[in-house]
Structure 1
Amino acid sequence: MSKVYSVEEARKKMEYFCSYQDRCHAEVSARLRDMGMISQAIDVIMTKLIQDNYLNEERFARSFARGKHRIKGWGIPRITSELKLRSISLANIKAALTEIPADDYHENFDKLAEKKWQTTLEKDLLKKKKKVADFLLRKGFESQLVLDKIHQLGKS
Structure 2
Amino acid sequence: MIKKPSFTVDEIKRKLEQYCVYQDRCHKEVAQKMRDFNLIPEAKEMILLSLIQENFLNEERFAKSFARGKFRIKNWGKQRIIRELKFRDISAYNIKTALKEIDEQEYIASIYRITENRNEVLSESDGYKRKKKLIDFLMRKGFETELIYKVVNEVTS
TM-score normalised by the shorter chain: which range applies? over 0.9
**1:87-146 Cα shifts (integer Å, max 9, x gaps):** 001111111011001011101111011111111111111111111111100000001111
Quick one: distance in 2 between partners of 1:32 and 1:3? 14
2:145 is aligned to 143
In the alignment, does 2:6 pair up with 1:4?
yes
In the alignment, does 2:114 pair up with 1:112?
yes
**One-letter identity of the residue aligned with 1:110:** Y
One of 69, 72, 82 as aligned partner of 1:70 = 72
The question of whether the paired residues in 2 share the 8 Å contact of 1:74 and 1:140 is answered with yes
Question: 1:36 Cα deviation (Å)?
Answer: 1.2
In the alignment, does 2:21 pair up with 1:19?
yes
**One-letter identity of the residue aligned with 2:155:** L
Q: Please, what TM-score do these two structures have when normalized by structure 2? A: 0.96
Identity %: 46
Quick one: distance in 1 between partners of 2:40 and 2:137? 43
| Secondary structure, aligned partner of 1:73 | coil
1:124 is aligned to 126
Quick one: distance in 2 between partners of 1:68 and 1:79? 7
1:32 is aligned to 34
**One-letter identity of the residue aligned with 1:91:** Y
1:80 is aligned to 82
Quick one: distance in 2 between partners of 1:20 and 1:92? 21
- Unaligned stretches of 5+ residues in structure 2: none
The question of whether the paired residues in 2 share the 8 Å contact of 1:5 and 1:37 is answered with no
The question of whether the paired residues in 1 share the 8 Å contact of 2:111 and 2:151 is answered with no
Taking only aligned residues, the RMSD between alpha carbons, in angstroms, comes to 0.8
The question of whether the paired residues in 1 share the 8 Å contact of 2:76 and 2:141 is answered with yes
Quick one: distance in 2 between partners of 1:106 and 1:141? 10
Quick one: distance in 1 between partners of 2:44 and 2:137? 40
**One-letter identity of the residue aligned with 2:71:** H
One of 30, 40, 43 as aligned partner of 1:41 = 43
| Greater mean alpha carbon deviation, residues 19-28 or residues 2-11 | 2-11
1:102 is aligned to 104
The question of whether the paired residues in 2 share the 8 Å contact of 1:22 and 1:55 is answered with yes
For this pair of structures, how many residues does the alignment match? 155
1:59 is aligned to 61
Quick one: distance in 2 between partners of 1:74 and 1:109? 9
Question: 1:153 Cα deviation (Å)?
Answer: 2.2
